[in-house]
């Protein structure tokens, strides 16, 4: 897997704006960016871990994202990642079944959880900077069952009154659908196995691990269904108008 930087809330010093940006720079064709591949939008792979299935009432506990770009051949690649632990908001529900599945100990002394408002701010900042770097209008959330991840983020944004949400309010790229198209599987572990990748069940339900695996799946599928230069395969070339 491509090596890339990690931004998280487990380091001693806070990450400064711009430290984590991996500029693909001069090796990339000037006329081709990830935002051009997606018509002005920028896909960001996201996974959340929560204390239940209700975005309005259940706690947001982990946020993770993998940021994408294109390389010199126009292929989509992973470049940066974000990992944040989040403290349950006041009055949040923690469903025992969900907590058993995700294995999160909210009282762990090394968890270093941020408040929901602070976590959103730190989560959105690098995404917004990469939007600017790529000249993109909005981020599009990529996820496995992406509607849930987006609903959780939107609910947290509403609770905190955050006005800097970079994500499109309802559009997503769902790797469930893409996997069904590409390999005939809808379960993340089975889809990864179908394209030759391993799934570590011991690391599953860590937001960062799930986001990394979903990103690898998304990149593999999108690159397999792209032309050698990264362009969409079925897009017709522009029709040249003959001079009058």
Q: Annotated catalytic sites, by residue?
A: 205
Give the sign of the dihedral formed by CA 78, CA 83, CA 89, CA 92: positive
What is the C-alpha to C-alpha distance for residues 131 and 136, in angstroms, rounded to an integer?
5
Q: Which two tokens stand for residue 32?
A: 């081709």
What are the distances in angstroms from CA 15 to CA 9, 28, 79, 82? 9, 26, 16, 11
Q: φ, ψ for residue 77 (rounded to 5)? A: -135, 160
DSSP 145-161: THHHHHHHHHHHHHHHT
- Helix/strand/coil for 121: helix
- Helix/strand/coil for 9: coil
């Amino acid at each position: 897997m491509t090596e890339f930087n990690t931004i998280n809330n487990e380091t001693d010093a806070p990450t400064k704006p711009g430290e984590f940006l991996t500029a693909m720079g001069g090796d990339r064709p000037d006329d081709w960016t990830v935002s051009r591949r997606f018509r002005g939008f920028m896909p960001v792979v996201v996974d959340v871990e929560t204390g239940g299935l209700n975005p309005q009432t259940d706690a947001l506990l982990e946020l993770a994202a993998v940021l994408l770009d294109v390389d010199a051949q126009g292929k989509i690649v992973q470049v940066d990642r974000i990992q944040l632990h989040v403290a349950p908001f006041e009055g949040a529900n923690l469903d025992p079944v969900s907590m058993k599945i995700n294995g999160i100990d909210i009282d762990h002394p090394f968890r270093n959880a941020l408040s929901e408002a602070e976590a959103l701010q730190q989560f959105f900042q690098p995404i917004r900077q990469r939007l600017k770097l790529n000249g993109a209008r909005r981020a599009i959330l990529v996820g496995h069952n992406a509607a849930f991840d987006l609903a959780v983020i939107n609910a947290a944004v509403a609770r905190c009154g955050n006005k800097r949400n970079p994500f499109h309010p309802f559009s997503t790229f769902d790797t469930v659908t893409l996997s069904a198209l590409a390999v005939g599987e809808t379960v993340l572990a089975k889809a990864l196995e179908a394209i030759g990748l391993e799934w570590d069940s011991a690391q599953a339900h860590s937001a960062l691990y799930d986001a990394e695996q979903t990103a690898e799946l998304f990149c593999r599928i999108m690159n397999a269904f792209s032309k050698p230069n990264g362009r969409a395969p079925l897009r017709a070339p522009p029709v040249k108008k003959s001079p009058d």
